[in-house]
Structure formats: structure tokens, C-alpha cells
Chain A
Amino acid sequence: MLNETVAPAENVRSGRRPALRKDGRYASVFLAPSLGGLALFTLFPTAMALAISLFDWPVFGERKFLGFGNYSHLLSDPVFRRVVLNTGLFVALYVPLNVIVSLGLATWLGPKIKGRQAFRVLFFIPVMTPMVANVMVWRLLFQPGGLLDAGLSSWFGIHAPNFLGSSNWAMPAIVAMSIWQGFGYNFLVFSAAIDQVPQSQLESAQIDGAGPFQRFRYVTWPMITPSLFFATTMTLITSFQVFAQPFILTQGGPGVATQTIVMYVYNQGWQFLSMGLASAAGWVLFVIIMGITAIQFVGQRKWVNYDV
């Protein structure tokens, strides 16, 4: 009996092991190109950036080991502190407004709305058009004597603020442009999620007396939380990396009112040819994004509902 019970177990084990090893080998072969690419184009540059960030690394001239000198320089530099603050401000304004606009429009364009596919295409167009072209058009709107200024002065006899030349207005102008440019992506994600909410449950809630707000709050919202989590995480990561809009619209000015961390990295590295400082700033951004993303993943347990 003992032999009979042990033998099958051993057979299973001895039978599975070579198969598992074989699967593992196959998996390794299939994964190799991707892992190779990851190592070569992501892990290696990341490690290199960390190594460079410890040096005074001008593009021309002597390189000197500084230890954490670049990091202490960044922490004591009022411009970099302002740059970090600007990036935080952009994220704090852009992410909630993007989610509100895209979720609001996705909810409004529910299954019963006529022509919703045409609207979807329309709202997605800014995402597809080149950022540079979009920014150029917005610049013509915002600049002194531009479309907004000319419209206001001819209709009401008042001048619009100097949106791109004022420290108070430049960041809101960039956020407004960015929302117009970027809400279409999340809009599609939310639309797809809302379409997945069973109509029967919404109708049941309606029969039970739930109004539109209650139906959204207690039926739709819990069911789309995984999509909300995905969209907010991705939007948060990309908005921390914002570059093109302030770079083309304001060049980070006036002063440093709209300069962001990625722009700071670009300027230090590719304009001022100071690779050490650029790498250190890049690593500061990397740590911030990793930290915020980790917090989001911990926090999701409390509000994301995967059980429906």
C-alpha cells in the first residue's frame, strides 16, 4: 500500500519536472528578446544614469567624482525646488481635471446617446494629432494680440491677460491645453468600462427607485474602479513626465514658472551639456514616480473593486 501510494506521487513529480524544465526553457527563449531589450535599453541606461549622477560630468572636459554632490546641489538649488513644485502643481491640477472631464463626458455619452461613436472619434482626435501642431495653435490663441486677446478687445473692449507671459497665468494655460490634448485617451478607457456595466443592474436599481446620481454612485462607480485605477495611475506617471507642452508653449518661463523636472533634465543635459546634474535630476524624478505609484498600489486595496 505504501509503495502504491508513494509511487504515483513520485511518478507525478518525476513526470512533471522535465516538463516544467522544458516549459521554462521555452519561456526563456521567448522572453529572451524582450528581456534583452529591457536590460539593454532600460536597466543599463538607468544604471548608467545612476553612475553618471555621482560625477561632475561635462560633455567636454574633465570628469570628477562628486559622490552625492549633484544631489545636494539640487536640494539646495531654489530653481530645482521650484521646478519640483511646478511639476507637483501640474500633476495636482491636471490629473483630477483630466479624470473629471473624461469621466464626465464618458458618462454623459452613455449607450443611449445618438451619434456617440462620432463623438468618441471627435474627442480622440487631439490625442492623435501631433503635440507640436496642437501647441502651436494654442500659442496663437494665448499670445498677446492672439485670438483670445483680439476677440475680447473687439467685443468687450478689454484685453485678455498675457497668458504665456504671466507667472500666474502660464501654468493654468498649460494645464488647459494639456487637458484638451489628453482627455480623449481616458475618455475611451472610461467609455469602454461604462459599456461593460450590465444594463440589467442599472434597470434593477432604477426600479428600486435609484436616481441617475445614485445609479452612478452605487452601480457604475464600483464596477469601473479597476479602469479608474488604471487610468489614474497611468495619467499620474505621464503627467510627472510632462515636457512637450511647457517646452513648446512657454520654454518653461516666464522665470521658471512652468519649468518641469523633465525640462530641467533636458536643459541640463542637452542644452547646458551637464550630464551629471541631468542624471541626478532624472533619478530624483524616478524616485518620486516610483514612490507615488507604490502608494497608489497600496491604496487601491481600499477603493478598487475587482469582485464584481
Chain B
Amino acid sequence: MRGTPARARRWLTAAGAVLALTAVAACGGGNGGSSGSGSADKADLTWQFWIGGTADQAAWQKVADQAHVDHSGITVKLQGTDWNNYWSKIGTLLAGGKAPCIIGMQSLRLASYASAMLPLDDLMKKYGLKTEDFDKPIMDGLKADGKQVAIPYDSGPMVIFYNKDLFKAAGVADPKPGWTMAEFEAAAKKLTTGGRTGLVTTPGDLGVTSWVRTLTGAEPLAGGKLNLTDQKFVDGFTTYANFVRTDKIAPQVPSGNSDFETTQFTSGKSAMQLNGPWSLIDTLGKVKFNLGIAPIPAGPDGSKTFTAGSGFGISRSCKTPDAAFQAIMSMTSEKPLTTLAAAGRAYPARTAAHPTWFTAAKIPEAKEVIEYASQNSVPLVTSKNWVQVNDLLTRFGTQALNGEIPPDQALKTIQDQAGSGS
């Protein structure tokens, strides 16, 4: 009898070990995907995308339906989750080889997921998709290792949103394309009065890198490796941090509140913010003042900004890539992108849909400014661990902006933590 518990323990231990190892082996399985079924002209496809609510769902469902309109044998079923949960969900689905055929992809996160997605160059050639019909910076932004991984639906060169009423009250002229950093700083100082500030900043990736690029020309990656401790990047970041810590033309930033920049601007507490055209029409609906937009001020080498955007790609596990590609062509064609533009959604990646968006934006200078910004922008190419880099930038950038740690120390910590970034 005494032997029984010991024997039972041994059996339990052995069974536990076998269970764990079997599970490890099972999870290490290959990419036996099961998404999508059919042929090039007849398929039931699933599309996973980030969805903000019921209105969003309805708008994107119309985009999905365009595939069926163009190809009667193809149907696209939209599946969605909110932005934050989307990335953990799609990561698990892609890793398990069970991802839907069509997946939404943001340019800044592309590097992390590209290995699980299908390069589209051959399909683009086969079905005659013309890259020149789209904004070049965002087409380039959705490439990984030189191969097109997704087709964009929106594009976003970073621009300055400004409060025209505050500019007028302070006697500051409206900024025009080509305005310089000195003009910007003089305007911001004049606008920093009566509890308001001239600018509001963010420690996030697009904000930091766009300002650094126009200030010194430095980029966050060099040769595919993180380049944050490069002296030019440090100098640019220090000037940017000084907007808050020494010049005080921008307020201190709270930690982890990505809305702060927008709420500070829309409430009229700050006269300028850097933002993407994807927010323009939404911001227009929120503010009670005349909204203006301008390019990012020109540094020593001119006005230089970054573009980000999103599009649709195909998972490697998709069994009907031809049908999925035809669906994506329909979903990024002129009609759905024009419909989205008219509804005030993101600035369309397809140039033919731009006029509709400019009409919806109702800001006279929008066309000139966004086209100027787009010409002076490059895609923000990111590393595979960019989510981590952005997380670190937000954390330690907050400390640098608020003057808790020197900007160079913040960048060194980020570089040390994130490594080469590959």
C-alpha cells in the first residue's frame, strides 16, 4: 500500500512530462493553414481587420462587398476586433497558420509580420495592378525587403494642424509650405501665453521621428539597424525635447495617454500639433475654431516628414491567393476608396480618390499642403521589433520631454533595451 502513492506520483510526473512535451511538439507544427477555399474566380474568403464600432463595421463591409460586385464568385466575410486586440489576435493566427486569407496591415508594424505574409509582386504583375495609381510613399511603406506585402487603402504624410483663431489673435501669419524652423519657433513662442502653449508634443514614434528628420535629417534606422544613438538623431531629439523642457512652448506630457496631444489641441489649449491626414476630418468635427493645416517646418535641408498608412495583405496560409488578390484589388479600387473618402475617413492611398477627400475636408489649403508634404516625405521604415521600440520611445521619451532624464540617456536606454532592432 505504501508503494502506491509513490507509484502514482511517478505516473503523474511521467504523464505530465509527456503532456507538456506533446504540447510543445504540437505547437511547433507547420503552417498547415485552412483559410479560404475555392479557386481564382470562386472563393469564400475571410478578412480580418481592426474595427472601431458598428459604423466602422458597416463602412468596411461595403468595402468587402466590392469584391463580390466585381467577381460574382468571390465573397469576402469581414471579421473584426478593436485596434489593441487586433495585433495580438492576428499574431497568434498567423503564427498558428490559421490566419484568414486577407489581413489588415499597418505600415509601421509590417516588418514584424511580413514573414507570415505572401509577397504580392507576382500577383500584381499577373493581374495588372498599377503602382503609379497609388501614393508612392505608402506603396514603399508597405514593402518588406523590397517586396510588396500589402496594397494600401490610406496614406498619411505627417503635417501640422493649427488653430487659425489663435494665430489671428496673436497676430501670427498663417504658416505656408516652406516655412522655416525659426518662423515656427517664433510663432510658438508668441502663441505660448495665457495658460496656452504654441505646440503640443508626443513621445510616440511618428511624432519623434518626423520632427527629428526635419530638424537634422536623421532616420531611426540605418542599414536596417536601429540608429537612435547616432549624433544627428540625438541632436534632433534634444531639440524636440527642448520644446517642452527648456523652451516651454509645449506642455509636459502625461505617461501612456496617446489622446493627450489631440485633446490638448482640440480643446484649444495648444495652438499646433503634428498629426496625420487620417485625423483631419475627425478633428474638424471636434473643434470649435477654424482649423488650418501646414507642412512640418523646414529644417536645414527643407521640410522633411514621414508617411505611414495601412493596407491589405494575404497570409501565407491562404489556399486561394489569386482570389484573395482579386478581392484586394477590388477593395482598394477607386469606388470603395472614393466612398470612404466622401465619408471623411482616412486620406485615400489611390490618387484618383483624392479630390473627393479634399472636398470632404473643406479646408482650402489641404490639397496644396498634403501634396507638398507627400512629396517631401518618405515611408517610416521600421524594424521587426518596432512595437517594442515604440513602447520604449513612449516610456523614456516621456521622461526626456519632461526633463527627468537627458535626451541622449533616453535614446541610449532605448537602443540598449531594443538591441539592433532586427
Residue ranges of A at the interface with B (Cβ–Cβ < 8 Å): 44, 47-48, 50-52, 55, 59-61, 63, 79, 139, 142-145, 153, 162-167, 170, 248-259, 267, 270-273
Additional pairs, 19, CB under 8 Å, beyond known A145-B264, A258-B255, A259-B395? A60-B95, A60-B115, A145-B269, A164-B257, A167-B399, A167-B404, A170-B255, A248-B256, A250-B255, A251-B255, A253-B255, A253-B394, A253-B398, A255-B398, A255-B404, A255-B413, A271-B88, A271-B388, A272-B391
A97 CB to nearest chain B CB (Å):
22
CB-contacts of B117-173 with A (<8 A): none
A154 to B195, CA, bound (A): 11
Measured in the bound complex, the distance between the Cα atoms of B398 and A163 in whole Å is 12
Write the chain A residue with the least CB distance to B244. Answer: A165
B20 adjacent to A251 (CB under 8 Å) = no
Q: For residue B254, which residues in chain A have a CB less than 8 angstroms away from its CB?
A: 139, 142-144, 162-165, 250
A166 and B402 contact, Cβ closer than 8 Å, known pairs A60-B115, A251-B395: yes
How far does the alpha carbon of A166 sit from the alpha carbon of B401 in the complex, in Å? 11
Chain B residues lying within 8 Å of A250, measured Cβ to Cβ, are 254-256
Contact present for B387 and A164 (CB under 8 Å): no
Q: Roughly how many angstroms separate A256 CA and B116 CA in the complex, as a whole number?
A: 31
Interface string of B188-210 (1 = CB under 8 A from A): 00000001000000000000000
- Tell whether B79 is near chain A: CB-to-CB under 8 Å: no
Max count, chain B CB within 10 A of own CB: residue among A52, A165, A267, A270: A165
B24 within 8 A of A: yes
- Among B394, B396, B404, which residue has the most Cβ atoms of chain A within 10 A? B404
Which residues in A have their C-beta under 8 angstroms from that of B391? 251, 267, 271-272
Closest residue to A45 on the B side, CB-wise?
B23
CA distance A52 to B20 in the complex (A): 9
- Closest B residue by C-beta to A48: B23
**Cβ contact of B260, chosen from A47, A59, A143, A272, cutoff 8 A:** A143
Nearest Cβ on chain A to B145's Cβ, whole angstroms? 14
Contacts of B23 on A, CB cut-off 8 Å? 44, 47-48, 51
The 5 closest A-B pairs by CB, nearest first: A251-B256, A253-B255, A164-B254, A270-B88, A254-B398
From the candidates B20, B87, B395, name the one contacting A255 in the complex (CB within 8 A).
B395
A-B contact pairs, 29 of them (CB 8 A): A44-B23, A47-B20, A51-B20, A59-B92, A59-B94, A59-B95, A60-B112, A63-B28, A162-B254, A164-B255, A165-B252, A248-B256, A250-B254, A250-B256, A251-B255, A251-B256, A253-B394, A253-B398, A254-B255, A254-B404, A255-B399, A255-B405, A256-B395, A259-B395, A267-B388, A267-B391, A270-B91, A271-B87, A272-B388
Is B72 engaged at the interface, CB distance under 8 Å to the other chain?
A: no
Which residue in chain B gives the minimum CB-CB distance to A44?
Answer: B19
CB-based contact B116/A60 at 8 Å:
yes
Q: How far is the CA of A8 from the CA of B400 in the complex (A)?
A: 85
B366 within 8 A of A: no
Interface size band for B:
35 or more
A250 to B387, CA, bound (A): 17
| Closest Cβ neighbor of B23 among chain A residues | A48
B91 with A143: CB separation less than 8 A: no
Residues of B within 8 A of A248 (CB): 256
Q: Which of B252, B388, B417 contacts A144 (CB 8 A)?
A: B252
Contact B385 A272 (CB under 8 A): yes
Given contacts A60-B113, A272-B388, contact A47 B255 (CB under 8 A): no
Residues of B within 8 A of A63 (CB): 28
Q: How far is the CA of A192 from the CA of B394 in the complex (A)?
A: 45
In the assembled complex, the Cα of A170 lies from the Cα of B399 at a distance in Å of: 12
Central interface residue in A44, A51, A255, A270, by most chain B CB within 10 Å: A255
B residues less than 8 Å from A142 (CB atoms): 254
* A283 smallest CB distance to B (angstroms): 13
Q: Which residues of chain B are within 8 angstroms of A44 by Cβ–Cβ distance?
A: 19, 23
**Complex: A256 Cα to B404 Cα, angstroms:** 13
- The answer to whether A254 touches B402, judged by C-beta atoms less than 8 angstroms apart, is yes
Interface string of B248-276 (1 = CB under 8 A from A): 00011111110010001000010000000
Q: In the complex, which residues of chain B have a beta carbon less than 8 angstroms from the beta carbon of A143?
A: 254, 257, 260
- B residues 354-375 touching A (CB-CB < 8 Å): none
**Nearest Cβ in chain B — how far from A242, in angstroms?**
15
B16 within 8 Å of A by Cβ? yes
Least CB distance from B228 to A in Å reads: 16
CA–CA, A270 to B87, complex, Å?
8
Task: Please indicate the chain A residues that have their CB under 8 angstroms from the CB of B112 in the complex.
Answer: 60, 273
Chain B residue at minimal CB-CB distance from A257: B255
* B21 interfacial contact with A, CB 8 Å: yes
Cα–Cα distance between A252 and B395 once the two chains are bound (Å):
8
Chain A residue at smallest Cβ distance from B387: A271
On chain A, the residues within 8 Å of B269 by CB distance are: 145
Q: Contacts of B24 on A, CB cut-off 8 Å? A: 48, 51-52, 55
How far is B257's CA from A153's CA once the two chains are assembled, in angstroms? 22
Contacts of B19 in A (CB 8 A): 44, 47
Q: How many angstroms from the CA of A74 to the CA of B387 in the assembled complex? A: 20
- Give the residues in chain B near A273, CB-CB below 8 Å: 91, 95, 112
Hey, which chain B residues are within 8 Å of A258, CB to CB?
255
* Complex CA–CA separation, A61 to B112 (angstroms): 11
CB-based contact A249/B88 at 8 Å: no
Given A50-B20, A164-B256, A165-B252, A61:B115 Cβ within 8 A: yes
Q: Specify the chain B residue showing the minimal Cβ separation from A167.
A: B404
B390-417 toward A: CB 8 Å interface, digit per residue (1/0)? 0100111011001011000000010001
Contact with A along B5-39 (1 / 0, CB 8 A): 00000000000100111011000100000000000
Which residues of the partner chain B approach A153 to less than 8 Å between Cβ atoms? 195
CB distance from B282 to the nearest CB of A (A): 19
A51 nearest CB neighbor, chain B only: B20
Q: Mark B53-75, 1 if CB is under 8 A from A, else 0.
A: 00000000000000000000000
Query: Which residues of chain A come closer than 8 Å to B113, judged between CB atoms?
Result: 60
Q: Least Cβ distance of A230 to chain B in Å?
A: 31
Interface residues of B in 63-117 (CB under 8 A from A): 87-88, 91-92, 94-95, 112-113, 115-116
**Residue from B94, B95, B255 whose CB has the most chain A CB atoms within 10 Å:** B255
Q: Which residue of chain B has its CB nearest to the CB of A142?
A: B254
CA distance A251 to B397 in the complex (A): 13
List the A side residues contacting B405 at CB < 8 Å.
255
CB contacts (< 8 Å) of A249 on chain B: these are 256
Please, how many angstroms separate the alpha-carbon atoms of A58 and B388 in the complex?
A: 14
Q: In the complex, how many angstroms separate the beta carbon of B362 from the nearest chain A beta carbon?
A: 29
